[in-house]
Structure 1
Amino acid sequence: MQRYFVPDDQVENDHLIIQGDDYHHIVHVMRMEKGSKLICVLSCHKTALCQIEQITNERVIVRVEEWINEQTELPVQIYIAHGLPKGDKLELVIQKGTELGAASFIPFMAARSIVKWDAKKANKKLERWKKIAKEAAEQSHRGKIPDIHAPMTIDELVEFAKIADYRLFAYEEEAKQGNHRTLAAILRQMKHGQSLLAVFGPEGGFSGEEVELLKQHGFFSCSLGPRILRTETAPLYLLAAASYQFELQ
């Protein structure tokens, strides 16, 4: 059944109003009609089974039939910070990372990022990333859409990291030296409701200065197994490991 996220300001008692891109998707893509049923998720993470009561030229009005109690979110908060990579790699990380349960994505301007952040295109880029996260959250039946932050500097990222209970960065030198236990140890220590900020470098990895800065601010360096992963693969590996630890055991 199709799922849509509905802002709280589009809620009127037991009726919800769906507009914009979701209106287009319901009417012109899915070709739903009066009486069709769908799932709506509110900003407060409440989920409802709804039925379409009215379709106008600009909006779909649905009535809540039943509030649904579901749990599809990771029991821990995983924040993914990623050095700006080339091409559409970050879009892939956001899409697949949303499916895997990430709570937030924080791009940052790494020393070895080939791509440079264009402030003139910032709003357009952020809107695209948010749209990708929203669609992935709907497809994977998430109860919330991950937060997408504007790119930060490494210093801003270090300051942001203070909100997290645990902090680590994926470092290929740890893999080369055979040190593979840090990630597993951190995941075992974490309790439900706690948070982890995981930092991943761009294609060229971290600079020596970045490594030292992260370590000075309480980040643990860790490997992601004996193989060297691509920059877009590494965050997905970590999220899958967290899912196994907290949802499949």
Structure 2
Amino acid sequence: MGGAHSLGHRVLFAPPPWPEGGRLRLSAEESRHAGRALRLGPGDPLTLVDGDGRRGRGVIERWRGSRLEVRLDEAVESEAEPGPATALALPLLRAPARTDWVVEKATELGVRALRLFAPARGVRRAGQASAARRRRWEELARAAMKQSGRCWCPRISLHASLGEALGEPRAGERILAADPRGVGPQEWPRDARAATLLLLVVGPEGGWSPAEEALLREREALGVRLGPHRLRSETAAVALCALAAARAD
């Protein structure tokens, strides 16, 4: 029944920790997706990812109520990704659907953390993001992880300000901010590839406040120009993520 699907498309999510003994149960949601969307059942092979860098191959053994039980035949403890770990600091956008789109595309492009923050000139506060919206972002990230062949799922966090999203300075950190006055992509800094954390920052729709601009200067953020045209925040975010992914490859 599952023979029409390639194994590459039979990717399901099973959160850590994976139990010893080689057997685990998928969540009711993943089991429903496997049975209805992928048309998988007992005897079908699949790939499992845990969102923390682990990938495994297994076979569906049986249904137990509304959940599938899987025999894990092979697992890779930790799968590295090329280049430095990448985080994206993104202001909360006016339309939730635009943030949804960034979550999906940033995951496909290899981002390991997504830090959503309330800008000084924004129209939303971090606390206004509902629990349902947060769950949707996490679901979108997991789906994009599986679709793109990754086994790392970005951690999504909410912050009250740009400063909170940037956090304390870390050794090996490099901050790159989308800026129409910045350097061109061909001038991508040499030390960016050697960084342990590449923090990508995109400005809000209303522009940075003087205090936010001063903070970026204090943190020695490098402005990167993304072309000759004015971009929406979500477009700039995806363009910056794509540029970082291409440079890391």
TM-score, normalisation: structure 1: 0.85
Structure 2 residue aligned with 1:114, among 123, 139, 149? 123
In structure 1, what is the Cα distance between the partners aligned to 2:225 and 2:121?
A: 19
Structure 1 stretch displaced more, 80-89 or 197-206 = 197-206
In structure 1, what is the Cα distance between the partners aligned to 2:179 and 2:52?
A: 36
State yes or no: 1:19 paired with 2:19: no
Cα 1:9–1:68 shift into 2, 3 Å: closer
In structure 1, what is the Cα distance between the partners aligned to 2:237 and 2:64?
A: 42
In structure 1, what is the Cα distance between the partners aligned to 2:154 and 2:169?
A: 17
In structure 2, what is the Cα distance between the partners aligned to 1:83 and 1:161?
A: 20
Structure 2 residue runs without a partner (length 5+): 1-8
State yes or no: 1:150 paired with 2:129: no
Equivalence for 2:188: 185
SS of alignment partner, residue 72 of structure 2:
strand
Q: 1:68 offset after TM fit, Å?
A: 5.7
Q: 1:194 offset after TM fit, Å?
A: 1.7
In structure 2, what is the Cα distance between the partners aligned to 1:47 and 1:159?
A: 30
The superposition leaves residues 153-191 of structure 1 with CA deviations (integer Å, 9 ceiling, x where unpaired) of 12312434547610122123x15xxx426x8332x3234
Equivalence for 2:232: 230
Task: Report if the CA contact (8 A) 1:11-1:17 is conserved.
Answer: no
In structure 1, what is the Cα distance between the partners aligned to 2:163 and 2:169?
A: 10
Structure 1 stretch displaced more, 95-104 or 13-22 = 13-22
SS of alignment partner, residue 232 of structure 1:
helix
In structure 2, what is the Cα distance between the partners aligned to 1:240 and 1:126?
A: 24
SS of alignment partner, residue 135 of structure 1:
helix
The superposition leaves residues 12-36 of structure 1 with CA deviations (integer Å, 9 ceiling, x where unpaired) of 4211211121011112332311101
Task: Report if the CA contact (8 A) 2:31-2:68 is conserved.
Answer: yes
Structure 2 residue aligned with 1:95, among 93, 100, 104? 104
How many residue pairs are counted as aligned between the two chains? 240
Structure 1 residue runs without a partner (length 5+): none
In structure 1, what is the Cα distance between the partners aligned to 2:82 and 2:231?
A: 23
Identity between Structure 1 and Structure 2 (%)? 26
Cα 1:190–1:217 shift into 2, 3 Å: closer
Q: 1:192 offset after TM fit, Å?
A: 5.3
SS of alignment partner, residue 31 of structure 1:
coil
TM-score, normalisation: structure 2: 0.85
